[in-house]
Amino acid sequence: MTPTDNLFQLIKSLTASEKRYFKLFAAKQTEGGKTNYEKLFDAYNELPDGSNYNEEEFAQSLKQKKLGKYLSDEKKNLTELVMKAMRHYSAEKKTEGRLADMIQEMNFLIEKGLFDQCEKIAVKAWAIAEEREFTEQKIKLLNIKRDIDKQDYSPVRHAYQQELRKQEEAAIKQLSAEREAAYLREQLYGIYITNQIQQRSAEVDAIYAALDQLHKQPHITFNCTHNIISAKCIIHDHRKEYNKAIDLLKYMIGRWEKLPARIEEMPDRYVKLVSHLMVFIFRVEDYKEIPVIVEKLNGVKTAEKDVLKDVFFLTTTAKLFDFINNSKFNLALQMVGHMKQGLKTYDALLSFIQKRVLSSNICFIYLKNKKYADVLDAVQEVYALVGRSKDKQFKLEDIKVFEFIAHYEMGNVELLHYTIRNNQRYFKDHQPDNSFIENLWKALKTFIQDGNKPKVAKQQLKEHVQALDCPPGNIALKQEVVTWLEG
């Protein structure tokens, strides 16, 4: 990493909304057309994400755009303009930023001796700091209150100053607790990520005891509680005390939800907290919580959901396959039932491929539990998901076979023949290169034509399927067909 790519990194780190804000902010700084700073910003922004920034090549490209004559100075000025714009953006978007601006305004008014105007702002600022539990800002505001108190000395003033002192002492105590919780959490996290929790168990126990003492203190702030609970959950996870972690996380999520504006301002932190709850829910196999968790996520606007959906998807499929591999089909069925409840809300978080794989798993588990009517319902949901997209229909090999097995077990003879004919038309139109699937359907056609001796027909089909060459992607499907024929 060279020092010359700092501005490139800064611009590439901005979100789409931050970039839009910068363009509007920069346009307000001048009249007329684009400044060189804006053009330079656009030039950086047009560079591919993740590219290896080369200062010389970039400077050469700028010459073609009649830019970069004084590149070093322009980069410095652009950096300052971006940072100034982001300060304004943060102040407009986040309460903490607005509060910082109010404190600056009050300091300016105090310098000018305009104490009455300052006091009006102080009242509003204090209400914000109290609501959001901004401890450091409260200490600053108390100093400002002390500065604007210019009354003659009297018992009333003495009582007021004593009250300010009490508030300051309480805020300092809260701030001390916040910093201690943050320190303990960071200390514990260092032990955790280096996989030393077991070896340093005595130290971990001491950290937990210290966290517990902090947690019992009265009037600890939101941020302090958040750090304490995050750290405690790491230890509960190591000790496999999953229900304790769940109780703590639900409590913390409840505190977030008492002030929805906090979620809007810090959505990433909220989503991460909910994702931690999700992990513990999966560990205790309490799948009825799945729709509840997803519902919480749907109302949050953040890219973190994209990360979470992958965690959620991988955790779900891993748990399902664990149940399947250990023949715990009743547990898998319980999980699928609750997953299916939440699919309407879950749907918004998943890509097509993820929804397709989960739908296939649902069909598979219903089949394993011989719930053939549910298999057919789940199959129809997959068809609705795919729609008329020919590009996506070729991914339905396993779904079509599950549908065939369900119709066979339910005695739906006419639908069996329709399914066979439908697949024949499909193979004729698309000429698939997967000979295993094509040969499997030919064998299934022969199988249903011999209805007088089902046991013999099943044995013959089993031997035929076992003899078919099979690509890696269809091994699980082949095994499932063989398992069904053996049952």
DSSP 22-61: HHHHHHHHSSSS--HHHHHHHHHHHSPTT----HHHHHHH
What is the tally of structural domains in the chain?
1
C-alpha 476/C-alpha 487 separation (Å) is 16
Q: Is 225 contained in some domain?
A: no
> What DSSP character marks residue 474?
G
* In-domain check, residue 311: no
What residue numbers bound the domain in which 46 lies? 1-93
Residue indicated by tokens 């916040």: 178
What value, to the nearest 5°, has the Cα angle with vertex 478 and ends 472 and 483? 140
Structure-block tokens of residue 96: 């903490």
H-helix segments, 194-328: 201-215, 222-238, 242-257, 260-265, 267-284, 290-298, 304-325
User: Tens of pLDDT along 347-400?
Assistant: 555 566 667 777 777 787 788 778 888 888 888 877 877 776 655 555 677 788
With contact defined as beta carbons under 8 Å apart, do 148 and 110 qualify?
yes
Is residue 7 a part of any domain in this protein? yes
- Specify if 55 maps to a domain: yes
Per the structure block, which two tokens stand in for 327?
């023949």
In a domain, residue 19? The reply is yes
pLDDT < 70 regions, the chain: 1-4, 29-34, 49-53, 64-70, 90-93, 150-153, 287, 298-299, 301-321, 324-325, 337-354, 388-395, 426-434, 450-453, 473
Nearest to 357 by CA among 409, 309, 425: 309
- Report how far residue 273's alpha carbon sits from residue 250's, in angstroms, rounded to the nearest whole number: 9
Closest Cα to residue 130, out of 182, 160, 174, 179? 174
389 CB-near residues (< 8 Å, 6+ apart): none
Q: What pLDDT shows up at residue 50?
A: 60
Nearest Cα to Cα of residue 135 among 212, 221, 210 = 221
Task: State whether the Cα torsion 415-420-421-427 is positive or negative.
Answer: positive
Tokens of 48: 């591919």
d(CA 269, CA 255): 13
Whether residue 70 lies inside any domain: the answer is yes
Token pair, residue 100, equals 């910082």
What CA–CA distance (Å, rounded) separates 382 from 393? 10
Model's pTM, two decimal places? Answer: 0.57
| Residue 217 maps to a domain | no
Distance (Å, whole) CA 394 – CA 233: 44
Query: Please, are residues 365 and 339 in contact by the beta-carbon 8 Å criterion?
Result: no
Q: Is residue 67 part of a domain?
A: yes
Amino acid at 292: V
